[in-house]
Structure 1
Amino acid sequence: MIDLIIENGTLIDGTGAPRRICDVGVVNGRIAMLGDLGGLPAHQRFNASARIVAPGFIDVHTHDDRLLLNRVEGPHPKLSQGVTTVVTGNCGISLAPLVTARPPSPLDLLGDDAWHFARFADYLDALDASRPALNAACLVGHSTLRVRHVANLERPATSDETSRMAHDLDDALTAGALGLSTGLYYPPARAASTREVIEVGRPLSAARGIVTMHLRDEADAIDEALREALQIGRELAIDTIVSHHKLVGRSNHGRSAATLAMFEDAAQHQSVCFDCYPYNASSTMLLPARVKQSDEVLVTWSKADPSAAGHSLFRLAEERDVSPEVLARRLAPAGAVYFAMSEEDVGRILAHPMSMVGSDGLAHDVQPHPRLWGTFPRVLGHYARERQLFSLETAVHKMTGLSARRFGLHKRGVITPGHCADIVVFDEHHIADRATFTHPTLACAGIDAVFVNGRLAYRDGEPHDVHAGQVIRRAH
């Protein structure tokens, strides 16, 4: 007997193909059959009349390493959006392998009390034991490896330090990590040379792992930074994914036409793509150097002054009679949202055929960027339905089938027999993000139900089975 039939829905299968009316049958957590299943017996039926049935969304750019280990009370920031799988360990920051009580910024974006995994395999085992709400595929952070092995972060790694980082990466790949991520923009990795990253990444070539690159610069020097990322992927002969592609600073508005052309040229000779999020504001650690590039800066958290969270850095600086840069230094360690991007660039990047969707949400910020709660419904509602930047089928493809293929998530991302039954049911006419910069943790509208590995995980605004996720290990 069929375990579950989702009936009478309109199927968008994740491949980019046109929608069609189709029932979906699930057995043992996998999609067993498609078609008219009205006459077949089932233990459970879900009526999806007047609704879209799509693959569960894949958030390819997250910092959910720690969130996955914790039980979330109430609505879940990812399940509530229809996300069923997350990729963690981005921007050079992974929760393992590192044991420390004082992680340097930006590693502290994951908190400072969860860094007790000496081996990447230990972290994956802990994820398994926690029975996570979502499927998790994990990257190893280059910055995490540097903090573990490099005695002086202000210089490139020595050959011995590089060898030890490469050894840890090899161990992690054996345990099931997808690949390596970098954050060359950030202090722990800023001194790393291109050659260091290539040598640390050598195990990726034999393992056919991937590298995701937070570029060394996303502002005036973005062309050079992108060439560096492409060189690393080319020399290692691996799939290269540029993280949250964007152009920062007023002087760089409009340059996405040129950077996208660079991606297109490179794709003729190597495997490359990028992810992005649907907002014209970014969020990361509070950095004085970012202040002058921005029209507005919102403080998301501050250890030195927790009362600053949620307030404008510029307004606080005026009230305290100091420059914004001076205040940024006084508030550190801290996080911020920066309004420094062009909406024209955001739309152009999001619409490009190479782009996937990732939230880059920071789950442990006191006042987080709304992308943590609103990324996927915003693409479906604002950009597909309202702005008609692309079709709904294309939007779903960018969140599912394309993402699964690029990250090597086998048997996921497409609704077809044999694939894992990660499924979202939503109302295409009413799906919308509700999270704002003022109220960033409001759950979206329009998600009816979310199934993770065939189990009902979320329905009508309420969590159900919050332990339906699995750890996705790289296939050997």
Structure 2
Amino acid sequence: MNTLDAYDLLVRGALVFDGRDRPGRVADVGVRDGRIVLAGRAADAATAAQAVDGRGLALAPGFIDVHTHDDLEVIRNPAMPAKLTQGVTTVVVGNCGISATPVAPAAQVPDPMNLLGAAEEFRYPRFADYRAAVEAARPAVNVAALVGHTALRQNHMDRLDRAATPAEVAAMRAQLRQSIADGALGLSTGLAYASAHAAPSSEVLELVRDLPASRIYATHLRDEFDGILPAMEEAFQVGRASGAPVRVSHLKCAGVENWHRSGEVLAALERAGHGHDVACDCYPYAASSSTLDPKQVTDAHDILVTWSDPHPEQGGRMLAEIAAGWDATLLEAAQRLMPAGAVYHGMHEADVRRILAHPLTMIGSDGLPRDPRPHPRLWGTFPRVLGHYARDEALFPLHTAVHKMTGLSARAFGLDGRGEIEPGAWADLVLFDPRRVRDVADFHDPVRPAAGIVQVWVNGRPAYDGQDVEPRRHGRFLVPAD
């Protein structure tokens, strides 16, 4: 037999979605030395170290979670079960202006950097240190990393409730340039948070100007509520002035007063896309999750407290219930609970659907792995898009759902060789049952693996068999091509 007909992995007869937003086709996919070498018809006599019957199942590129806060999780819990069990093979970390690196040692880290972990876990003063730690941990998924604006600010400023001085901006620029040279994807900001809200556009622009053409600017907008349109325009102006592609993080219409504004929000995104590279990500839920923020405390919708440092016994209860028990206002109760985490049920389903369906929208979980009671998006985002929205609600075809979490994402973040099934691409693959795939995690029981994910491979090696995560791990640190 011809040695070209011998594979490390051969999946026969699956409905193959190649990541390009076109209908699937029944085909065989062969893998050798970590890369796809066949996407078509294998010889009848072909052999493989691992042969898989894919008939009745769908095969897709491994899903790319473009919006995560897994910076430290990929080191302390490198098996990454929350991601592998939903078919995710690559995570982008460092979002919302908060990153594990480069971070100077400190007695404490500012909110919301505490979402990533305790101060003593920030051990990576240089991006190269973090990259080396990830490579040593060898997580089960691939990792690509942004540098957080808030991390840079806390390295060089005595307090964060003001604009940076020219000298401080220069120090941040130097640290960002070195991080880019060491493999960072680009810069992220979280201008809505108190730790960065005082930063003017000019401060951000000076940093973004240093990004090479292959790197991106990702932003948690300064305002996702009433001021969302000016906040979007601010982000697009930074992109246009610097030339950097703009990625709007977890695009949403937050707050009851902003429900049904998704049409005008998406129109602004489209206008910006005429002549400039813009895109956004979105998670498939009408509730957000972050730290408990007094600015977001309201009686207009439910707020679930997920954790509290001073009052851990209140985790898992509604803020209104806690306030009533304390005979306090919502704001007083929130201030007593802080620092704390919360889930805000502040979006309208119609807006979520409209944003999810837009051609410029990728899928990102925005999951918080250190949350004792995480939002179900941590474990359920990708199967929810495939099962609930694509199959059950017919919001878009299944091949479009796959495209939003594979090919579109890989191109938007410069992850060459990922996100598609074609010869030469890296063999990050997920085999799933399109009839059964669904999210199982919910707000009452959020730590539950998805149904219908049959097998996952990372760089051509087994990673998850539908029941158990493979103990041997094969993820890599990904660096964008220049």
TM-score (normalizing by structure 1)? 0.98
1:400-415, aligned counterparts within 5 Å?
400-415=406-421
The C-alpha deviation readout for 1:63-97, integer Å capped at 9, x for no partner, is: 00011002367x80000000000000000000011
Native 8 Å contact 2:14 2:59 kept in 1? yes
Q: Which amino acid aligns with 2:479?
A: R
Q: Is the 8 A contact 1:293 1:340 kept in 2?
A: no
Structure 2 distance, partners of 1:463, 1:97, is 31
Taking the aligned partners of 2:20 and 2:302, their CA distance within structure 1 comes to 39
The letter for the 1-side match of 2:233 is: R
Query: What is aligned with 1:163?
Result: 170
Q: Which residue of 1 aligns with 2:3?
A: none
Return the letter of the residue paired with 1:31. Answer: I
Task: Select which of 194, 197, 200 maps to 2:201.
Answer: 194
**2:214·2:481 contact (CA, 8 Å) conserved in 1?**
no
Shift of 1:294: 4.6
Return the offset for 1:207: 5.0
Q: Residues of 1 paired with 2:258 and 2:383: CA distance?
A: 28
Q: State the Cα deviation string for residues 33-70 of structure 1 (Å, max 9, x = none).
A: 12221321222201112100000000000000011002
Deviation (angstroms), 1:387: 0.6
Q: How does 1:21-420 map to 2 (within 5 A)?
A: 21-37=26-42, 38-71=44-77, 76-98=81-103, 99-112=105-118, 113-204=120-211, 206=212, 208-292=214-298, 294-420=300-426
Partner of 1:459: 465
Name the CA distance, whole Å, in 1 between partners of 2:113 and 2:246: 23
After superposition, the Cα gap between the structure-2 partners of 1:170 and 1:437, relative to the gap in structure 1 and judged at 3 Å, is same
| Amino acid corresponding to residue 189 of structure 1 in structure 2 | A
Distance 1:396 1:294 in 2: 35
TM-score, normalising length: structure 2:
0.97
Q: Is the 8 A contact 2:152 2:172 kept in 1?
A: yes
Tell me whether 428-437 or 290-299 shows the greater mean CA deviation.
Answer: 290-299
Cα pair 1:176 1:475 within 8 Å, conserved: no
Letter aligned with residue 459 of structure 1: D
2:22 matched residue in structure 1: 17
Alignment RMSD, CA only?
A: 1.1
CA distance in 1, matches of 2:457, 2:349: 33
SS at match of 2:45: coil
What is the Cα deviation at residue 270 of structure 1?
A: 0.8
Stretches of structure 2 lacking an aligned partner (at least 5 in a row): 1-5
Contact 2:139 2:473 (C-alpha < 8 Å) held by counterparts = yes
Give secondary structure in 2 for the equivalent of 1:5: strand
- In the alignment, the residues of structure 1 paired with residue 159 and residue 285 of structure 2 have an alpha-carbon distance, to the nearest angstrom, of 36
Q: Which runs of 4+ in 1 moved over 3 A?
A: none
Q: Secondary structure at the match of 1:397?
A: helix
Worse-superposed segment, 192-201 or 289-298: 289-298
Deviations 1:132-161 (A, max 9, x none): 110001000000000111122111000000
- Checking the alignment, whether the CA contact within 8 Å between 1:283 and 1:338 is kept in structure 2 is yes
Which of 3, 9, 19 in structure 2 is aligned with 1:4? 9
| SS class of match (1:261) | helix
- On the 8 A contact 2:56/2:433 being kept in 1, the answer is yes
Partner SS for 2:369:
coil
Aligned partner of 1:422 among 398, 418, 428: 428
Distance (whole Å) between structure 2 residues aligned to residue 9 and residue 279 of structure 1: 30
